Amino acid sequence: MKEHNSEPTDHQLVLRVQKGDKRAFDLLVLKYQYKLQAIVGRFIRDTDEVADVTQEAFIKAYKALPRFRGDSQFYTWLYRIAINTAKNYLVSKSRRPANTDIDVEDAEQFANNEKLIDDATPENSMMTDELAAIIKSSLSALPEDLRTALTLREFDGMSYEDIAAVMDCPIGTVRSRIFRAREFLDERVLGVDKKS
């Protein structure tokens, strides 16, 4: 059997970094820089600040990598560092985390409601835009722990186990937070729907 020249896994790259190979960390940065910018961008609006905070998260990860034991996936560990770096940045600037953006396509997938999938008439487009605005404002009204859990699950497609690792809490707590967040959004959306 021929061996394929495949890209090294995260685990292999982490081991190389831990042995002093700085270029291996560059490969991890290249692999995850856009994902991390997207995560940080959920908390911080200014693109220059997003770039700075993302870079700071990578620096923190690099410094902490010698202590990384592999109890969780590397990306889950890096994700947690990025979220904490963004939150710490906002605290240092005395700002609340920015509202999580949601676009219409996400709103349709997110609400998991047949009423969202309509023909593209002007009336339906207006209702879809209104619904997206309601979901966006509802997401911002959620407590941070519920919003983070729901966002990681619905927008990033993370498993409950990975979310538990990122949020440093039991899986049962993650399930509870996601359930409560969905329930809250359903109430807001259905409450508005009844007014129509």
pLDDT surpassing 70 at residue 99:
no
pLDDT at 19: 93
CA–CA separation, 32 and 43 (whole Å): 18
Closest CA to 10 of 27, 33, 34, 35: 27
pLDDT at 127: 61
Q: For the segment 6-61, what is each residue's pLDDT rounded down to a tens digit? A: 788 999 999 999 999 989 999 999 999 988 988 888 888 888 899 999 999 999 99
Q: For the segment 128-142, what is each residue's pLDDT rounded down to a tens digit? A: 667 667 777 777 788
pTM of full prediction above 0.85 = no
Domains assigned to the chain? 10-92 (1.10.1740.10), 104-195 (1.10.10.10)
pLDDT at 128: 65
Cβ atoms of 110 and 135 closer than 8 Å:
yes
pLDDT surpassing 60 at residue 110:
no
pLDDT at 73: 86
Cβ atoms of 148 and 59 closer than 8 Å:
no
Q: For the segment 163-172, what is each residue's pLDDT rounded down to a tens digit? A: 888 888 898 8
Question: Residue 116 has what DSSP assignment?
Answer: G
Neighbours of 111 (CB within 10 A): 21
Neighbours of 61 (CB within 10 A): 23
Which of residues 136 and 3 earns the better pLDDT score? 136
CA–CA separation, 116 and 135 (whole Å): 12
pLDDT surpassing 80 at residue 122:
no
Neighbours of 121 (CB within 10 A): 9
Cβ atoms of 139 and 100 closer than 8 Å:
yes
Helical segments of 142-170, H only: 144-154, 160-167
pLDDT at 103: 42
